Amino acid sequence: MQRNERRLLIASGTIASVFALLLVSQRLINWQKNLDRREREIELLQMEADALLADAPAWEARARWLSQTQPVASDELEANKELDHIVSLAKREGLVVQSQQLQEPLKTDYFLQIGVTLSVKGQVPAVFRWMHTLLTPSEFRIVPALKVIPDKEDPAQVVAQVQFWRRYSPALAATP
């Protein structure tokens, strides 16, 4: 082999080595970027998990409070009792109950929800005093829908359509 051929072979080998080195280094750089991205994602997940674990005692205290204070439905006729109680409080406030309707009970693993829809007529202060009486936190009642309109016959009074939900402990909700 002549000297020129040797130089050409060495130059070709050097160029091929440089290109191979560039390709390998590019792959290593991409791999490092992926590792850095994954590391950031894992750090974020770790921070979220740490934050959730730090809140765990508060949520456990809330769960204990809920299990101690949420009422337990005595039987499936609890909806009738709830309706009777709400209607009697409305009449005690001087309200006229125009319509009443029970809703289908909703059972979940976490609660039994009983719903009642009422239409009552009366003075505005009496209507809201009645609702305020029913919506004490310890009773676990919710008003998901409320519509108050003036009465057509007597503008001094209003007609309120109120939907009440009451949530009971899952003790009865878990039974078939």
Residue 171 neighbours by CB under 8 Å, 6+ apart: 72, 73
Q: Are strands 106-107 and 112-122 parallel, antiparallel or unpaired?
A: antiparallel
Per-residue pLDDT at 171: 67
Cα angle: 34, vertex 16, 31; to 5 degrees: 5
Per-residue pLDDT at 122: 95
Structure tokens at 133: 């009486």
Which letter does DSSP use for residue 140 in this model? T
pLDDT averaged over every residue in the chain: 90
Query: How far does Cα 174 stand from its chain's mean position?
Result: 21
Structure tokens at 72: 């337990």
For the chain, the C-alpha Rg in angstroms (whole number) is: 35
Per-residue pLDDT at 80: 84
Where residue 173 falls among pLDDT bands split at 50, 70, 90? Answer: very low
Query: How far does Cα 74 stand from its chain's mean position?
Result: 27
pTM exceeds 0.75: no
Mean of pLDDT values over 4-33: 92
Q: Are 84 and 124 in contact (CB under 8 A)?
A: no
DSSP bridge partners of 43: none
pLDDT in tens, 68-118: 888 887 776 777 888 899 999 999 999 999 999 988 888 888 888 888 999
CATH number of 78-173: 3.30.70.60
Q: What contacts 24+ positions apart, CB below 8 Å, involve 106-112?
A: 107/173, 108/170, 108/173, 109/170, 109/173, 109/174, 110/170, 110/173, 111/70, 111/167, 111/168, 111/169, 111/170, 111/173, 112/73, 112/78, 112/167, 112/168, 112/169, 112/170, 112/172, 112/173
Say whether pLDDT at 174 is over 70: no
Per-residue pLDDT at 33: 96
DSSP bridge partners of 101: 117
Signed CA dihedral, 15, 17, 23, 28: sign only: negative
Domain ranges for the chain:
1-69, 78-173
